[in-house]
Amino acid sequence: IDELLADGVAGKRVFVRADLNVPLDGTTITDDGRIRAVVPTVEALADAGARVVVASHLGRPKGAPDPAFSLAPAAARLGELLGAEVRFATDTVGDSARATAAGLADGQVAVVENLRFNAGETAKDDAERGAFADQLAELADVYVGDGFGAVHRKHASVFDLPARLPHYAGHLISTEVGVLKKLTEDVKRPYAVVLGGAKVSDKLGVIEHLLEKADRILIGGGMAYTFLKAQGHEVGISLLQEDQIPAVQGYLKRAEERGVEFVLPTDVLVAGEFPDLRTKAPANPTTVAADAIPADQEGLDIGPETRKLYASKLADAATVFWNGPMGVFEHPDYAEGTKAVAQALLDSSAFTVVGGGDSAAAVRTLGFDENAFGHISTGGGASLEYLEGKTLPGLAALEN
């Protein structure tokens, strides 16, 4: 983007592909981190006199307009953060979008409606995606890719559109890639990785890759129960991906052969039912040993002994990557495990990267100072796929 700004962008219509996919409670944004992350790029373009058209997806609507997934709240928040009027087009490539883009004065900003209200955005068929990209291209003269959270998606606005316009990487994408490079090239050791979240299947690729790179892998969250089961323990009614057990057993074996330390919970908080996240009514969990989960109980957070163990494994690390909460942190009775990992990252002198929408939201909603971490990535799937060494369509398209 520096090159674009240096060449002069005044009067040009610039399409900024952002990732404004923020968590919403109705129309209230519960974590605006992704909107704040794109402000430097939008501001730099607007200050330079560009006519800025911002586009993003939000959620997973089914290729047609759905008010529950409108970008209107995100557009309003962007306006507050910029301290400037942000116009909003009620469609993505229709009359409203075309008129809004055409009516922008130099330095003005508009947001168009959710890209995924159009089936062409996510279509598998190249021609269908291409046709939608053609329509998007009519809105602008230049493309700036800055939606790091979506660069792993081969979608029209991420992959096909940059091929149709002069294209540049925005500040956010440059920063994110710069940080993730430090986790793949010349990593400072010991390199510890904390993985949590619900599903093992989402993390298979990254675990495979990290077995070659990391010194320690700490497992928490819902995925921990598949690991415990793979070690022969009963996990009651905890989240379990039976079909992943052979893969997990293979990883545990390879880790042992390679001298990579796999650390699993030694105790967990359990309850007979999932907590009510809306009322946050007391859940009264009990702590049990990880190899003694009662048959009618569900594991919902790591226990106090595990919290200490994980903190000790992170204390002397030089590099830490953390993706995925340790428990159902949205309920106060199950937030301590996630808080303990966040605190351990802050207490260590390591270079710390928090990746992923959920862990980033957890850090902020649990009251931690986000600036105290080395880097909080706006990309969940994107940062994992980057670490897996995959070619990311949105980055490849910008490099072309």
The C-alpha angle with vertex 52 and arms to 49 and 56, in degrees rounded to 5, equals 160
56 among annotated binding-site residues: no
Q: Exactly one of 36, 199, 254, 364 is catalytic; which is it? A: 199
59 among annotated binding-site residues: yes
95 among annotated binding-site residues: no
Nearer to ligand 3PG, 21 or 241 (CB): 21
Nearer to ligand 3PG, 60 or 280 (CB): 60
77 among annotated binding-site residues: no
Residue 34 annotated in active site: yes
Q: Exactly one of 147, 357, 379, 380 is catalytic; which is it? A: 357
Interface residues with ligand 3PG (CB under 6 A) are 19, 21, 60, 149-150, 153, 357, 380-381
Minimal distance in Å, beta carbon 150 to ligand 3PG? Answer: 5
Nearer to ligand 3PG, 153 or 171 (CB): 153
Minimal distance in Å, beta carbon 50 to ligand 3PG? Answer: 24
Q: What burial letters (b/e) apply to 197-212, b meaning 16+ CB within 10 Å?
A: bbebebbbebbebbbe
Minimal distance in Å, beta carbon 325 to ligand 3PG? Answer: 15
Residue 357 annotated in active site: yes
Minimal distance in Å, beta carbon 63 to ligand 3PG? Answer: 13
- Is 167 in contact with 397 (CB distance < 8 Å)? yes
Nearer to ligand 3PG, 19 or 215 (CB): 19
357 among annotated binding-site residues: yes
Nearer to ligand 3PG, 150 or 156 (CB): 150
330 among annotated binding-site residues: yes
Minimal distance in Å, beta carbon 328 to ligand 3PG? Answer: 19
Minimal distance in Å, beta carbon 99 to ligand 3PG? Answer: 28
3-state SS record for the chain: CHHHHHHCCCCCEEEEECCCCCCEECCEECCCHHHHHHHHHHHHHHHCCCEEEEECCCCCCCCCCCHHHCCHHHHHHHHHHHCCCEEEECCCCCHHHHHHHHHCCCCCEEEECCHHHCHHHHCCCHHHHHHHHHHHHCCCCEEEECCHHHCCCCCHHHHHHHHHCCEEECHHHHHHHHHHHCCCCCCCCCEEEEECCCCCHHHHHHHHHHCCCCCEEEECCCCHHHHHHHCCCCCCCCCCCHHHHHHHHHHHHHHHHHCCEEECCCEEEEECCCCCCCCCCCCCCEEEECCCCCCCCEEEEECHHHHHHHHHHHHCCCEEEEECCCCCCCCHHHCHHHHHHHHHHHHCCCEEEEECHHHHHHHHHCCCCHHHCCEECCCCHHHHHHHCCCCCHHHHHHHC
Closest residue to ligand 3PG in the complex (CB): 21
Nearer to ligand 3PG, 60 or 308 (CB): 60
87 among annotated binding-site residues: no
Place of tokens 């999932």: 274
Residue 381 annotated in active site: yes
List of residues 6+ apart from 392 with CB closer than 8 A: 151, 152, 382, 385, 386
Residue 380 annotated in active site: no
Structure tokens at 21: 């996919």
32 among annotated binding-site residues: no
Q: Exactly one of 13, 34, 51, 213 is catalytic; which is it? A: 34
189 among annotated binding-site residues: no
Minimal distance in Å, beta carbon 60 to ligand 3PG? Answer: 5
Nearer to ligand 3PG, 175 or 348 (CB): 175
The C-alpha angle with vertex 278 and arms to 272 and 281, in degrees rounded to 5, equals 50
- Give residue 227's Cα distance to chain centre: 23
Q: Exactly one of 33, 222, 381, 394 is catalytic; which is it? A: 381
Q: Binding site for substrate, residues?
A: 19-21, 34, 57-60, 116, 153
Q: Binding site, residues?
A: 19-21, 34, 57-60, 116, 153, 203, 299, 330, 356-359
Q: Binding site for (2R)-3-phosphoglycerate, residues?
A: 34, 116, 153
Give the catalytic positions in this structure: 34, 199, 357, 381
